[in-house]
Structure 1
Amino acid sequence: MGIDLKTVNSYLSISRQMRVSPMTMKEKILEAAEKRVRGAGFAEMSFRDLAGDVGIKSASVHYHFPTKPDLGEALVARYADRFKAELEKIPTDNLQSALEAFVGLYAKALVLGESICLCAVMGAEAIGLSENINARTKAFFGMNKAWLETLLSRHGVENERETAALIVAALEGGMIVASASKDRSIFDIVAKAALRGIAA
């Protein structure tokens, strides 16, 4: 099975058409933190950096998030909620189209030289993170696998659990290697290989 890049790009265009509301200071901090984490890693992010990003003092960041693990946990929860909302928008009547839309969510997260999936970063740094952050990151991956398992089972794909785990691992890993190599084609190759034959 090949990935129809036109379909993926079309889905990404639709998913970007979201209503924008004024952000609270807490949301601004989370937005700035997500950008930094996805671009340079959680360990590299400091409250002082975030304070400068949003124009407040470090103490004000601590008011909203007393500790860095508190902020990390909120970041992953927010990212997972947004991702879940995007998953729920994907029509699942056609297996190939649904899989292409799923890949599209990961493709959107990869911007060479700028960012990758937040939970890919958190997963890579798991050894040094708090149990609560790791639990939320694990739940994010579990949510993705569960969505895929349901989709694959609905369309009669065998070994849906193993296949779902393979797809998620391939997309996350492909994203990390593509980012490190500054070569987006690596992600595209991995994505195509992960889906090959599923909806043939």
Structure 2
Amino acid sequence: MSETADAIMDAAERRIRDAGYDGFSFREIAVDVGVKSASVHYHFPTKESLAAAVARRYTERFMAAIDKEMAGGSDVVGAWIAAFQHALRSDGKMCLCGALGATSGNLPNEVLVEARRFFELGLKKLIGGGLSQAKAMRVMAILEGAMLLANVLASPVAFEEAIAELS
């Protein structure tokens, strides 16, 4: 990817994590990046293709962070907690795929496929780390819900309180 494409994806990610799929336009992304709207369209012909690419990149980055935590000695739940805590501390925004998933009924199929992939891969990693499917789903639901609470309440402490039973 070019630097411009990366900058476009970074801007789209910030906006999606703030306001979901409907929370951005190509015009806004162009302003954020300092390029013409035609440049955004050149790199990503449609809003769907941009959002799908952002979700795909986010998923790869997030799963790599989980793998790194586990390679450093964390158990699978601890790795997921650390990844969510890092996301909350570093930018205080929602999980990108959680933000997309909240409106999954209205997402274009190309974007829904990528958001669903995040959750499917996540559950697979949790189960691969020794959790039952039911426990993996609870962990994922608690982490996503805790992040939502922390954002809505503007309180990182809410996240810590909500996940206390996981640690």
- TM-score computed with the length of structure 1 as normaliser: 0.76
Alignment length (residue pairs): 167
Question: Which residue in the other structure is 1:104 paired with?
Answer: 82
Q: Are the aligned partners of 2:75 and 2:129 in contact in 1 as well (CA < 8 Å)?
A: no
Superposed CA offset, 1:64-110 (max 9, x none): 1111111111010010111121122133696x644223201011222
What is the aligned partner in structure 1 of residue 31 from structure 2? 52
* Corresponding residue number in structure 2 for 1:116: 94
1:125 equivalent in structure 2 = 103
Aligned to 1:16: none
Ranges in structure 2 where 5+ consecutive residues have no aligned partner: none
Contact 1:29 1:50 in 2 (8 A): yes
Q: Any gaps of 5 or more consecutive residues in structure 1?
A: 1-21, 154-159
Cα 1:80–1:51 change in 2 (3 A) is: same
1:61 aligns with 2:40: yes
Letter in 2 for 1:105: A
Deviations along 1:42-82, one digit per CA (max 9) or x if unpaired, are 21211111111111111111111111111111010010111
Q: Percent identity?
A: 34
Structure with max Cα Rg = 1
**Are 1:148 and 2:126 matched, yes or no?**
yes
Q: Work out the CA distance in 2 between the residues paired with 1:112 and 1:76.
A: 18
TM-score normalised by the chain length of structure 2: 0.90
The one of 145, 155, 164 equivalent to 1:183 is 155
RMSD: 2.2
Change (3 A) 1:92 1:112: closer
Contact 2:77/2:139, CA 8 A, preserved across alignment? no
Correspondent of 2:14 among 7, 10, 35:
35
Please name the residue that 2:142 is paired with: 170
